[in-house]
């Protein structure tokens, strides 16, 4: 057996599972602005600009942050599935952007199973938090999880530090809600009925925003806009009851640093989910130029640019948002038969849950994976002299 190496083949079924994990990543309004392509031993992640948000995200910053979140989920899964990953960023200014992940089998789990389980548990909880303090050791775990080149992470726990943030959020809310294009765009991604939620497989369910079901025959656009504006005006009132605020800033405002910010945020979000800590974005404070300048001045940022601001704390979970099926996201060589076979008899859209995560639990997929690995080892042993 000396000198015998295990096979490095990555099976299409593993690619499907990794893409499924990546698709559980968060995105602004749950637009899911990504596509995946399998090319040999690589997965290529590309931005889906057709799902961009011209009014809320004119520079595609939130879109690239979402790509970073999807990339981090994929890497967490790869580590736990016994795969080594090498990342190659293709972000030249005049070329189509993508991130290539080259995978090779190691047959050893190098990852953290708790992070893998947290992928399905992570969610954005927009409601009221209980106000309980977060223990210092748990805060340190969040800080450790945030480390990425060119990304800076900070926690604000002092109420005196939080008060100016509330003012920045209030000002940004006022400006955005006065913009008809912003309100119309956000409304287009809210699903006001169960039928609309199931048929679209994306966007925000009305329940996660605390809005009532509003079928078109009951309420027209004017009523929906009124209720949305009233709900969004109240979100700064929820900040003082949070345990802390989290800020992510980058050294440079470009796609590479936005992707790295997404990776940092997702690793923090998964760590928080494992600690039963909920989070909610306060994005407007980073989206409006005047509020961003005010925020940078208060926090003493120099060249660093704030890109994400969130409140965190303890609260009851809310319903998870739906995800598009994998066959709509992943292009495999020779067609998507592997995706289709993996979804026979299942509904078109799906909702992240504990059963969505495979590979390290005592479930059927684990048995399939172990059988594949045993078969691979037998082939490797047979090929050794």
CATH code of the domain in which 292 resides: 3.40.109.10
Domain boundary among 291, 319, 347: 319
Domain boundary among 319, 352, 373: 319
Domain boundary among 319, 341, 364: 319
Assign residue 27 a region (left: φ > 0; alpha: ψ between -120 and 50; beta: otherwise). beta
Whether residue 343 is found in the same domain as residue 217: no
Residue 381 has a pLDDT of 39
Structural domain tally of the chain?
2
Q: Cα separation of 82 and 6, whole Å? A: 12
Whether residue 297 is found in the same domain as residue 354: no
Whether residue 302 is found in the same domain as residue 172: yes
Residue 134: both structure tokens together: 């977060």
Q: At 90, phi and psi to the nearest 5? A: -115, 95
Low pLDDT (below 50) residues in the chain: 1-6, 338, 340-347, 358-385
Whether residue 242 is found in the same domain as residue 174: yes
Whether residue 223 is found in the same domain as residue 274: yes
**Contact by Cβ (8 Å): 22, 45:** yes
Residues spanned by the domain of 78:
1-121+322-385
Whether residue 82 is found in the same domain as residue 184: no
Residue 68 has a pLDDT of 98
**Dihedral sign (CA 194, 195, 197, 198):** positive
Residue 217 has a pLDDT of 67
Q: Cα separation of 322 and 201, whole Å? A: 5
Residue 112, Cβ neighbours under 10 Å: how many? Answer: 16
Whether residue 117 is found in the same domain as residue 237: no
Assign residue 126 a region (left: φ > 0; alpha: ψ between -120 and 50; beta: otherwise). alpha
Whether residue 51 is found in the same domain as residue 185: no
**Dihedral sign (CA 267, 270, 275, 281):** positive
Whether residue 132 is found in the same domain as residue 8: no
SS3 content of the chain, % helix, strand, coil (to 5): 45, 15, 35
Q: Give the tens place of pLDDT for each residue, 47-62.
A: 999 999 999 999 999 9
Q: What is the CATH number of the domain that holds 104?
A: 3.40.109.30
Whether residue 280 is found in the same domain as residue 170: yes
Residue 350 has a pLDDT of 56
Whether residue 258 is found in the same domain as residue 304: yes
Assign residue 235 a region (left: φ > 0; alpha: ψ between -120 and 50; beta: otherwise). alpha
Whether residue 55 is found in the same domain as residue 1: yes
């Amino acid at each position: 057996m000396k000198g015998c190496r295990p096979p490095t083949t990555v099976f299409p079924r593993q690619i499907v599972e990794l893409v499924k994990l990546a698709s559980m990543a968060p995105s602004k309004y749950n637009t899911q602005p990504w596509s995946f392509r399998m090319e040999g031993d690589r997965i290529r992640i590309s931005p889906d600009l057709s799902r961009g948000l011209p009014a809320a995200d004119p520079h595609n910053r939130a879109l690239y942050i979402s790509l970073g979140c999807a990339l981090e989920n994929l890497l967490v899964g790869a580590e736990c599935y016994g795969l080594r990953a090498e990342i190659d960023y293709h972000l030249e200014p005049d070329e189509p952007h993508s991130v290539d992940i080259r995978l090779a089998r190691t047959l050893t789990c190098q990852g953290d199973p708790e992070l893998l389980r947290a992928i399905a548990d992570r969610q954005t909880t927009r409601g009221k938090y209980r106000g309980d303090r977060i223990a210092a050791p748990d805060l340190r775990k969040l800080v450790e999880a945030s480390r990425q080149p060119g990304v800076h992470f900070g926690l604000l726990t002092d109420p005196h530090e939080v008060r100016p943030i509330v003012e920045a959020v209030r000002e940004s809310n006022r400006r955005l809600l006065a913009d008809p294009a912003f309100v119309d765009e956000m409304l287009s991604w809210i699903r006001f009925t169960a039928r609309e939620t199931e048929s679209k497989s994306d966007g925000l369910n009305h329940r996660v925003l605390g809005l009532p079901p509003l079928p078109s025959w009951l309420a027209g656009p004017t009523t929906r806009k009124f209720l949305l504006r009233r709900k969004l005006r109240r979100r700064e009132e929820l900040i003082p009851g949070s345990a802390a605020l989290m800020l992510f800033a980058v050294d440079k405002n470009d796609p590479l640093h936005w992707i790295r910010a997404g990776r940092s945020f997702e690793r923090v979000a998964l760590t928080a989910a494992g600690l039963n800590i909920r989070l909610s974005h306060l994005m407007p404070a980073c989206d409006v130029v005047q509020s961003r300048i005010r925020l940078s001045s208060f926090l003493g940022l120099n060249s660093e640019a704030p890109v994400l601001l969130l409140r965190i704390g303890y609260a009851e979970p809310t319903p998870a948002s739906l995800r598009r099926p994998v066959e709509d996201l992943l292009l495999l060589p020779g067609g998507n038969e592997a995706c289709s076979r993996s979804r026979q008899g299942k509904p078109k859209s799906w909702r992240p849950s504990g059963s969505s995560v495979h590979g390290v639990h005592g479930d059927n997929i684990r048995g399939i994976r172990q059988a594949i690995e045993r078969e691979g080892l037998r082939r490797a042993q047979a090929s050794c002299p």
